[in-house]
Structure 1
């Protein structure tokens, strides 16, 4: 009720009309992950009405400053409002251009992948999310195909051993629940794999027999074996050597890492990573900005031409001076560059 009154009073300030900035600020306060923290320790959180008033005051003072502080939390379509403002400000135009790049699909996708990669590294270091057992629970069929069937009895016992610290009644229950969920997941994966194999086989037979893929033939369906997921797997521990086992294990790890970065881990809350600036790699961002500068067409055309002239002149200078005082060619080259810089 309090926030509603504040929104109404804010609307009244805009010449009796509802300015789109009202909705933009409302989005910042209610939807975006914006921090409005007090600078004083142990102070209560800032109320929504105070956030709205602060954001609106900043906007009235300077739209450019408003965008510098809140622009990256806006939606891409919010930028159209600021583009239509009748303000001749080079700083505002520069800020809008940078935000357009920031909110582009290409930039967002790259930013998300980088954040997920950083999160992956933290999960590896601080949690057991990427431990062999937890990855086995998430993708049991792939684990069995690439790793499980080649393990020895001792390796299986070591993998499935319960830590004595976790040997509690609750720990045993959770372990049982996880294993039951793993069996269900594996069974669902086996069904999906069987269906895909059957479809491929059916399509091959249809092509061979001249039958349309859309035609349904009597008896052409397969009945899945509900007990197959509970049958102990036949292990092939002696069929491959240690090097081949390592390669298969590496393939499994890469698939699990890719699954996380591509957003395929269905039980993971990606919002905690994708919209979290704590996972930004500042060193990588700085490097990307530097690469962008040096890769720009203007910079390439200018510096490449100058560089090639220096290389060409250095080659001629080196051939002339090589038989003279015996100076180090590198020293000659550096002196030549210093001379060119002094001339410019």
Structure 2
């Protein structure tokens, strides 16, 4: 199946139809993330504190946790801890069979992660999975703190490869004249 868009003729002008708005928005969002890797900073922890805890925080050294804590400040640490605790209570009260993470009560009433969850083995694997999850969330438009209109309505985030392909598809072939009498580019060999 071809991915090329059909042409429409509007009077004397033939222009290529644009991809659906939802596809164009996702393409622009992906391009934005490619150009702004800083989006995946530690500040994104608040988006999903449980997932961050499982994929990133568990692999941090005490020095890395301390540095992150200093960057957040006391109120930032408190806010993150409260959000993480509330998310655990919610996950325990309303278990989601499709969720990546699950929790249960420990022997002393504490909320602990279940062993059956798919937990990455290395820090690098955890970082990749975290970034992938946050990228999918961003592409869906589920980052409610982000102003998507700045990306979705900005044609600077269009994929230039598509633009170049469109340019060459619409270009008319022509022969270059040398000395105004002979056509260059003709070999005299016919390909069948």
TM-score, length-normalised on structure 2? Answer: 0.61
**Alpha-carbon deviation of 1:159?**
3.2
The question of 1:264 aligning with 2:186 is answered no
**Equivalent residue in structure 2 for 1:286, among 136, 140, 164:** 164
Partner of 2:152: 274
Largest Rg, 1 or 2: 1
Partner of 2:12: 90
**Equivalent residue in structure 2 for 1:158, among 67, 70, 74:** 67
Partner of 1:142: 51
Partner of 2:40: 130
Query: Counterparts of 1:280 and 1:273 in 2: how far apart (Å)?
Result: 10
**CA-atom RMSD, angstroms?**
3.9
TM-score, length-normalised on structure 1? Answer: 0.37
Which structure is higher in strand share?
2
Tell whether the 8 Å contact from 1:113 to 1:262 is kept in structure 2 after alignment. yes
Q: What are the superposed Cα offsets for residues 272-305 of structure 1, whole Å, 9 maximum, x if unpaired?
A: 1111122223333323x379x6xxxxxxxxxxxx
Partner of 2:25: 112
Partner of 1:25: none
Tell whether the 8 Å contact from 1:118 to 1:280 is kept in structure 2 after alignment. yes
Q: What are the superposed Cα offsets for residues 226-252 of structure 1, whole Å, 9 maximum, x if unpaired?
A: x968xxx99xxxxx99x6332122111
Tell whether the 8 Å contact from 1:137 to 1:178 is kept in structure 2 after alignment. no
**Alpha-carbon deviation of 1:149?**
2.0
Query: Counterparts of 2:36 and 2:44 in 1: how far apart (Å)?
Result: 12
**Alpha-carbon deviation of 1:142?**
0.4
Report the CA distance shift for 1:191/1:284 in structure 2 as closer, same or farther (over 3 A): farther
Partner of 1:339: 189
Query: Counterparts of 1:252 and 1:192 in 2: how far apart (Å)?
Result: 21
Report the CA distance shift for 1:290/1:150 in structure 2 as closer, same or farther (over 3 A): same
Query: Counterparts of 2:70 and 2:142 in 1: how far apart (Å)?
Result: 28
Unaligned runs of 5+ in 1: 1-82, 163-173, 201-226, 235-239, 294-336
Tell whether the 8 Å contact from 1:137 to 1:179 is kept in structure 2 after alignment. no
Partner of 1:251: 129
Q: What are the superposed Cα offsets for residues 162-196 of structure 1, whole Å, 9 maximum, x if unpaired?
A: 4xxxxxxxxxxx74443344334323432332234
